[in-house]
């Protein structure tokens, strides 16, 4: 191994092509050979992002796989600088480090032999040197149906009831990176196959969906959420999607659609299902408006799937036992744990699945909203009637060996009411 590459205590299996270049004589004539090798390796490892991070005299190469950043390799500073310059050339960025952030993009591979992949490159100068983040801009994965997402049969029936009804809002809620868009696009693909007229109003339109009429918000041309929804309603839609409800204008637009008798779908940032009520209040909607239009909420997080080939039941770690005890949950003697094998690149996990709660507000829930009940009272009402909340769904998936208790713990503080 040459002196320009350091692989101590870092798994060697994640970047085989790039490592082989450092261990062999580079092929002349390809000025981006190392960058191409890293892209090949990252795609093979199912990475969504590549991070090139300066660290003292070295450059750390890390991959985000299934939502977690994994240390993949470390190279000397000169080698790292060469790799950074290769990506900046591909993204048509100025090779001179800038005091501010620079962004560029490119498609890869440049030939027609393989499917084209689009990438966004962000460069910023840190106190340790220049850092690059490279993201694969792939459309969100869509699943055959809601059960494939990880939603249980009871939740799937609730979604089907809403889709078969007329009017009201279906909101997919969760923090950034929780898989909301994947769930929404899965529902849209189901609607596309049925006798439905679906129109979207998005800012921006990130991905095209065949069979769906998608409209891009353009405030400079006078097409904002308010005027856009008025126009969409004249198109005689059965379902209207407003991408992300993130400000008072988009919240009012969603209300106008749902109040007109059409079915409205959208995403929203919220801690859990009942947290949607607080978010809509903060966006300016009144309790009567929320109660009158809120039809269904799908709240979710993403957890990593255990590799089925190497998972093992082992004694429960002390940290997880303490966490379960604090939650008031029965503490088992053992649990499914990640191990690592060749099929999962030694990570113990492969892919991700959702942890969900599906809330279809009852007449009592609507009454609580009208009486300005807070999240705690709403959540208590759900638990009292036996609704499966996210914490319980996560614990069930951990018991089944779909994920681990550690992954459920990482979802965040979804505490019992």
Query: What are the extents of the domains in the chain?
Result: 5-136, 146-410
Q: Distance between CA atoms of 302 and 398, rounded to whole angstroms?
A: 13
Q: Distance between CA atoms of 172 and 180, rounded to whole angstroms?
A: 6
Q: What is the pLDDT of residue 99?
A: 81
- For 295-316, what is the mean pLDDT? 96
Among 39-48, 111-120, 131-140, 366-375, the range scoring the smallest mean pLDDT is 111-120
Q: What is the pLDDT of residue 193?
A: 64
User: HSE on the CB side for 144, CA within 13 Å?
Assistant: 2
| Phi, psi of 126, rounded to the nearest 5 degrees | -105, 175
What is the number of other CB atoms lying within 10 angstroms of the CB of residue 152?
Answer: 17
Whether residue 8 is predicted with pLDDT greater than 70 in this model: the reply is: no
Q: What is the pLDDT of residue 50?
A: 97
Q: Distance between CA atoms of 124 and 100, rounded to whole angstroms?
A: 6
CA angle 217, 222, 227 (to 5 degrees): 70
Per-residue pLDDT tens digits for 335-363: 999 999 989 988 999 999 999 999 999 99
Residues 6+ apart with CB under 8 A from 330: 324
- For 309-314, what is the mean pLDDT? 96
Nearest to 263 by CA among 196, 186, 192: 196
The model's pTM is 0.85
Per-residue pLDDT tens digits for 203-259: 878 777 777 898 998 888 888 888 888 888 889 999 999 888 989 988 999 999 999
Whether residue 413 is predicted with pLDDT greater than 70 in this model: the reply is: no
CB contact at 8 A, 232 and 254? no
Q: What is the pLDDT of residue 31?
A: 65
- For 195-208, what is the mean pLDDT? 83
Sign of CA dihedral 256, 259, 262, 263: positive
Per-residue pLDDT tens digits for 110-151: 666 667 889 999 999 999 899 999 999 887 776 777 888 889
Greater confidence, 194 or 25? 194
Whether residue 28 is predicted with pLDDT greater than 80 in this model: the reply is: no
Among 61-65, 108-112, 223-227, 261-265, the range scoring the smallest mean pLDDT is 108-112
Whether residue 5 is predicted with pLDDT greater than 60 in this model: the reply is: no
Q: What is the pLDDT of residue 126?
A: 92
Q: Distance between CA atoms of 140 and 127, rounded to whole angstroms?
A: 34
Question: In percent, how much of the chain has pLDDT > 70?
Answer: 92
Q: What is the pLDDT of residue 365?
A: 97
Q: What is the pLDDT of residue 145?
A: 79
- For 373-391, what is the mean pLDDT? 93
Q: What is the pLDDT of residue 380?
A: 94
CB contact at 8 A, 153 and 396? no
Whether residue 4 is predicted with pLDDT greater than 60 in this model: the reply is: no
Question: In percent, how much of the chain has pLDDT > 90?
Answer: 57
User: Could you say which of 3.40.1350.10, 3.40.50.300, 3.30.465.10, 1.10.150.120 is the CATH number of the domain covering 146-410?
Assistant: 3.40.50.300
Q: What is the pLDDT of residue 9?
A: 40
Whether residue 70 is predicted with pLDDT greater than 70 in this model: the reply is: yes
Report the mean per-residue pLDDT for the chain: 88
- For 139-167, what is the mean pLDDT? 84
**5-136 maps to which CATH number?**
3.30.450.90
SS3 per residue for the chain: CCCCEECCCCCCCCCHHHHHHHHCCCCCCCCCHHHHHHHHHHHHCCEEEEEEEEECCEEEEEEEECCEEEEEEEEEHHHHHHHHHHHHHHCCCCCCCCCCCEEEEEEECCCCCCCCEEEEEEEEEECCEEEEEEEECCCCCCCCCHHHHCCCHHHHHHHHHHHHCCCEEEEEECCCCCCHHHHHHHHHHHHHCCCCCEEEEECCCCCCCCCCEEEECEHHHCECHHHHHHHHHCCCCCEEEEEECCCHHHHHHHHHHHHCCCEEEEEECCCCCCHHHHHHHHCCCCHHHHHHHEEEEEEEEEEEEECCCCCEEEECCHHHHHHHHHHCCCCCCEEEECCCCHHHCCCCEEEEEEEEEEECCCHHHHHHHHCCCCHHHHHHHHHHCCCCCHHHHHHHHHHCCCCCHHHHHHCCCCCCC
Q: What is the pLDDT of residue 353?
A: 94
Q: Distance between CA atoms of 186 and 205, rounded to whole angstroms?
A: 16
Q: How confident is the model at residue 2 (pLDDT cuts 50, 70, 90)?
A: very low
CB contact at 8 A, 67 and 304? yes
Q: Distance between CA atoms of 264 and 262, rounded to whole angstroms?
A: 6
Q: Distance between CA atoms of 61 and 50, rounded to whole angstroms?
A: 7
Whether residue 3 is predicted with pLDDT greater than 70 in this model: the reply is: no
CA angle 18, 117, 218 (to 5 degrees): 140
Whether residue 6 is predicted with pLDDT greater than 80 in this model: the reply is: no
């Amino acid at each position: 191994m040459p002196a320009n590459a350091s692989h101590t205590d870092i798994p060697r299996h994640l970047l085989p092509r790039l490592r082989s270049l450092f261990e062999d004589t580079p092929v002349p004539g390809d000025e981006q050979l190392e960058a191409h090798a890293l892209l090949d390796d990252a795609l093979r490892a199912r990475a969504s992002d590549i991070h090139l991070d300066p660290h003292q005299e070295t450059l750390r190469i890390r991959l985000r796989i299934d939502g977690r950043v994994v240390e993949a390799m470390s190279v000397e500073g000169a080698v790292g600088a060469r790799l950074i310059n290769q990506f900046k050339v591909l993204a048509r960025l100025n090779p001179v480090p800038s005091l501010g952030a620079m962004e560029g993009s490119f498609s890869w591979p440049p030939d027609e032999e393989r499917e084209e992949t689009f990438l966004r490159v962000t460069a910023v100068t840190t106190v340790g040197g220049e850092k690059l983040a490279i993201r694969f801009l792939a459309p969100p994965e869509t699943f055959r149906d809601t059960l494939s997402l990880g939603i249980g049969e009871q939740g799937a029936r609730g979604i089907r009831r809403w889709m078969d009804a007329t009017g009201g809002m279906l909101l997919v809620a969760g923090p950034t990176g929780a898989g909301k868009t994947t769930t929404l696009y899965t529902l849209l693909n189901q609607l596309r196959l049925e006798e439905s007229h679906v129109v979207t109003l998005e800012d921006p339109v990130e991905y095209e969906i065949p069979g769906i009429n998608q409209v891009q918000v353009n405030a400079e041309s006078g097409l904002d959420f308010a005027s856009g929804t008025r126009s969409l309603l004249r198109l005689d839609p059965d379902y209207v999607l407003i991408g992300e409800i993130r400000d008072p204008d988009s919240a009012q637009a969603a209300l106008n659609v749902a109040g007109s008798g059409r079915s409205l779908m959208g995403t929203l940032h919220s801690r859990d299902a009942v947290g949607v009520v607080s978010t809509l209040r903060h966006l300016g909607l009144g309790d009567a408006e929320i109660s009158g239009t809120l039809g269904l909420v799908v709240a979710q997080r993403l957890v990593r799937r255990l590799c089925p080939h190497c998972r093992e039941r082992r004694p429960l770690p002390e940290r997880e036992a303490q966490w379960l005890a604090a939650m008031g949950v029965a503490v088992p003697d053992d649990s499914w744990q990640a191990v690592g094998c060749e099929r999962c690149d030694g990570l113990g996990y492969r892919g991700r699945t959702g942890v969900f709660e599906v809330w279809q507000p009852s007449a009592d829930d609507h009454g609580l909203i009208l009486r300005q009940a807070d999240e705690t009272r709403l959540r208590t009402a759900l638990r009292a009637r036996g609704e499966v909340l996210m914490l319980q769904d996560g614990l069930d998936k951990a018991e089944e060996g779909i994920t681990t208790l550690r992954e459920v713990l990482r979802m965040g503080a979804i505490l019992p009411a």
